[in-house]
Amino acid sequence: MTGGPLAHHAHDDVLELVLDRTSRRNALSRDLLRELRHAFTNLPEGIRAVVLTSTGPVFSAGADFADLTGTSADLAYDRDLDNACTAIRDCPVPVIAAVDGPCVGAGVELTTSCDARFAGPNTWFRVPAVELGLLYNPTSIRRLHATLPRSTVTRLLVFAERFDAADAVRSGLATHRTDGDPREHALTLAHTLAQAPHEALAATRALLRHLDNGHFDDAEWQTTRTRLLDSPARHDAVAAASARHGVTHP
């Protein structure tokens, strides 16, 4: 589906969501952020992974200044960005960003909400909030602090440094660096993850999110683990692995 600021393309059990505002350098308008939230909370049946990509030479120029006032009224924009990022993090399937070109401001927060971030050779990341006289949203900083090393958060938010693709991988802003099209690599990983046992993948991602938020109930997660140990999906996966290794069970 195309025609709006967010295009949808289905590749079997993988959904590709495309930021499609090339004329605005894929700036994240409030309308686009709402569309992202809706897309991630209303996945089509059968989708097992999502790839977030963009059109044009810029992944995202960040917040759309047409939606900003330079006053406390911009808290409404923060809420829309927070809702979109929360929807990505709470998505029941893995989310992979393919970042090609500059990724600025709110675009950085959007991509760091994804499970993996492929950075192409022309990619760079930067958050110039302090240069705009802004304390970045504390909720957003907490999320970044839970996702990235403390030194990276300082360089990103206090120093407003620009991270090229290689530096982004070293610092955790990106998880993979590619010499070619990051979209192809992201789709390949997405299709691989789509074949993994869905419940185990979802439970592992959920546990990591809970740890990011400082929440951990050992008894709850041990119960989940025991349930998955006895699941048909695990039985089938172990049986298939045993067959590959020439192991037979009585």
The domain that holds 183 is classified in CATH as 3.90.226.10
Mean pLDDT score, 63-75: 94
Work out the mean pLDDT of the chain and round it to a whole number: 95
Q: What is the pLDDT of residue 53?
A: 98
Please indicate, yes or no, whether residues 167 and 235 belong to a single structural domain of this protein.
Answer: no
pLDDT in tens, 84-136: 999 999 999 999 999 999 999 999 999 999 999 999 999 999 999 999 999 99
Please indicate, yes or no, whether residues 160 and 204 belong to a single structural domain of this protein.
Answer: no
- Name the residue with tokens 């360089």: 155
Overall number of domains in the chain = 2
Give the closest residue to 41 by CA, choosing from 90, 110, 95.
90
Please indicate, yes or no, whether residues 57 and 157 belong to a single structural domain of this protein.
Answer: yes
Count of H-run helices and E-run strands, the chain: 10, 9
Please indicate, yes or no, whether residues 39 and 56 belong to a single structural domain of this protein.
Answer: yes
Q: Is 46 a domain residue?
A: yes
- Alpha helices per DSSP H over 90-231: 106-112, 138-147, 150-153, 165-171, 182-194, 198-212, 218-229
Q: What is the pTM of this model?
A: 0.94
Contact of 6 with 35, CB cutoff 8 Å: yes
Question: CA 206 from chain center: how many Å?
Answer: 14
Separation between Cα atoms, residue 107 and residue 99, nearest integer Å: 10
Give the domain range for residue 150: 6-194
Amino acid of residue 155 = R
Please indicate, yes or no, whether residues 14 and 123 belong to a single structural domain of this protein.
Answer: yes
Give the closest residue to 176 by CA, choosing from 219, 233, 114, 232.
114
Please indicate, yes or no, whether residues 119 and 216 belong to a single structural domain of this protein.
Answer: no
Mean pLDDT score, 40-45: 97
Please indicate, yes or no, whether residues 98 and 40 belong to a single structural domain of this protein.
Answer: yes
Please indicate, yes or no, whether residues 231 and 121 belong to a single structural domain of this protein.
Answer: no
Please indicate, yes or no, whether residues 153 and 214 belong to a single structural domain of this protein.
Answer: no
Q: What is the pLDDT of residue 246?
A: 85
Please indicate, yes or no, whether residues 62 and 155 belong to a single structural domain of this protein.
Answer: yes
Q: Is 57 a domain residue?
A: yes
Q: Is 1 a domain residue?
A: no
Mean pLDDT score, 172-201: 96
Q: Is 136 a domain residue?
A: yes
Q: Is 250 a domain residue?
A: no
Assign 41 a pLDDT band (cuts: 50, 70, 90): very high
Please indicate, yes or no, whether residues 215 and 125 belong to a single structural domain of this protein.
Answer: no
pLDDT higher than 70, residue 250: no
